[in-house]
Structure 1
């Protein structure tokens, strides 16, 4: 095996500062160069296009047709002309977009791969040394849920990666991809140390790992100091754009320092006080003949989600709503609000009548949701529960909060009663 060789080890400690005007111009120039390079990808419907779609998530429509690539592989997986690349494409597809209904095709593809022996004599290695494909298969195994071949697939894949790393010598980028695949399946910290900073940040953006600030600085230097992206391979470019997007998104737009879950808790705890100015007019406040009293009614949990979105979205640019999380067997969990950079879910509940059974049901629902939301593959590890009590049963709030905070993964529980001025 070749000795470890990280291309960033010689870099100086002085790095680009995000707050400096010149640095921001350099960052914007780098971003434009990355985007220009990616425009050439669209329409290929191949593994690289699928990887670009997966690593960039919801920022891909201008670059790739992710859905077309996924559906093309879904159709091919039952045909004689299928390849290992189709299995990898389906892995990316099922993880990013379960609504494309690729789960059955993915499992069929993984089952087919189990019958393939690596490094056969008189055959040039292909799937064994394709870093993008190996990462796609790792993602696919995670996204395949619980099924009869899951453990067998993991065992086969772990053995394959070990043999690949033992037999072959790779450039730094391909080596990084293979170690990333190994990390996703084995969770071994030794693999994490072999991943380049740009790929590490892109994986952090998807919730697979956490990175320290020194890795962020190294990734930023790597992105800004690239002399010519026009000649760079597309998968590297997409990864660096994903890393740059995450660096820019994870810094809140108005908080002076890096955000933490406690900042979200502080904001949500003040919702109750801020409702003092909530619009609830008994008579019009403007003197116009056609004016009528306006009441901003809150009638269900979707209205509460809208309220929280208005509060949080300007501050946390990576806020997601109704996000689909990786499937668990036949379960397809979807959280209310999520902040990926904080690995934080905000679960919204609504109390209608304030009966004892309704308060108990809230705790039971959150307990059930938490077990789905905080799976190893979800990218989230903590929950804030926000409860709107339309019944104003304030005497029950303390017990409800205590019960919710005892649940595994629940960082805080906030209960807001319907304001007194909002009379039904």
Structure 2
């Protein structure tokens, strides 16, 4: 065990003690519950009783909406309209909502899908930018809206754990250095946010890759799939007397997804299966995989013949148009295609077409290896 590991362990223990020692307000408790994807605190129900006529209750309802807790959307909208009509200054002093950093965050989440609220939220951020309390929450309300703003590494990482922002490459090392040097918060709320950030750094960091992973890292991994397939079991007779001849067929899109999961899951601990993109009316687009720490979606395609290979471009055009209609946890797409007939002469053309779509960061096409044939593919189900 290294000295750094010991220091981090001690820092985490101290953070837990601090987090457990202090009391949180109902709004603070709701913020932490949303941040950690936990059930709503017991204080939430009373605060959500309509009509919402305190800014703290409106902000708490916004967290409830973001967390998927039981909240009446019409009552929340009523509270938001009431809040927008409240003066931002009182006797020359900023109204409480203007300086409350947690309220900035909650209302920023609500404003992500309400353009009329976004305009008001911009004014709140403008008036309160130099008066946010606590100061370490400065910038949080802006970055959850996708606006450019400076904020602390722990806040950006904690919010990244909920998929509402992307963390910067320097955030993880900055947080770890801060903890190793004993720069620890003294209040329970801040300590819980730092703990959430630390969990995300550990969970999101690739476990076998040095340095900071990017979408290009995933692309490079998948481009090396042909090398992996050199040892793919495809036996004419058993290798040992107590085994059967094994042929690991890749005959449909489900098999391709299994292959990708096998490659990516050990490396990216936050890999998610069948990730959902932002809802469009009654439609809930679903993507094969998501890597939240990279804000990257990965779509697998199985092209049974040459016509299907060329049609992948049309399929991704339709898919990509529905995946990114609203701000969400992901902002880019990587396409992986299994070319079952190995039409390598078309790969460059298809990849070039896929790369033209705005959110597609790259595409990888892998042709079925020549040794993986046994005359049964024509009978395989789609």
Is TM (by shorter chain) over 0.5? yes
Q: CA deviation at 1:181?
A: 0.6
Q: TM-score, normalised by structure 2?
A: 0.79
Aligned to 1:200: 156
Q: Does 1:349 align with 2:301?
A: yes
Cα distance in 1, alignment partners of residues 226 and 288 from structure 2? 20
Q: Judge conservation of contact 1:70–1:89 (CA < 8 Å) in 2.
A: no
Aligned to 2:120: 156
Q: Does 1:315 align with 2:270?
A: no
Do the aligned partners of residues 48 and 300 (structure 1) sit closer, same or farther apart at CA in structure 2, a change above 3 Å counting?
farther
Q: Judge conservation of contact 1:70–1:90 (CA < 8 Å) in 2.
A: no
Aligned length: 373
* Alpha-carbon displacement from aligned partner over 1:205-240 (angstroms, at most 9, x marks no partner): 546245353x544433433444776x5222x12221
Cα distance in 2, alignment partners of residues 113 and 273 from structure 1? 59
Q: CA deviation at 1:121?
A: 5.9
Q: Judge conservation of contact 2:27–2:59 (CA < 8 Å) in 1.
A: yes
Do the aligned partners of residues 406 and 210 (structure 1) sit closer, same or farther apart at CA in structure 2, a change above 3 Å counting?
same
Do the aligned partners of residues 364 and 126 (structure 1) sit closer, same or farther apart at CA in structure 2, a change above 3 Å counting?
same
Gaps of 5+ in 2: 377-382
Aligned to 2:141: 181
Q: Judge conservation of contact 1:56–1:241 (CA < 8 Å) in 2.
A: no
Q: Does 1:30 align with 2:1?
A: no
Gaps of 5+ in 1: 1-19, 58-65, 145-149
Do the aligned partners of residues 67 and 297 (structure 1) sit closer, same or farther apart at CA in structure 2, a change above 3 Å counting?
farther
Q: CA deviation at 1:199?
A: 1.5
RMSD: 3.8
1:189-228 map, 5 Å:
191-192=149-150, 195-205=151-161, 206=163, 208-211=165-168, 213=170, 215-226=171-182
Cα distance in 2, alignment partners of residues 293 and 70 from structure 1? 59
1:10-409 map, 5 Å:
21-35=2-16, 37-38=18-19, 46-57=26-37, 66-69=38-41, 77=48, 79-80=50-51, 83-95=54-66, 106-107=76-77, 109-120=79-90, 125-142=95-112, 144=113, 150-165=114-129, 169-171=131-133, 174-185=134-145, 187-188=147-148, 191-192=149-150, 195-205=151-161, 206=163, 208-211=165-168, 213=170, 215-226=171-182, 232-234=187-189, 236-288=190-242, 291-327=243-279, 330-352=282-304, 354=305, 356=307, 358-374=308-324, 377-409=327-359
Cα distance in 2, alignment partners of residues 182 and 346 from structure 1? 28
* Alpha-carbon displacement from aligned partner over 1:247-268 (angstroms, at most 9, x marks no partner): 3345432223332333322210
Q: TM-score, normalised by structure 1?
A: 0.73
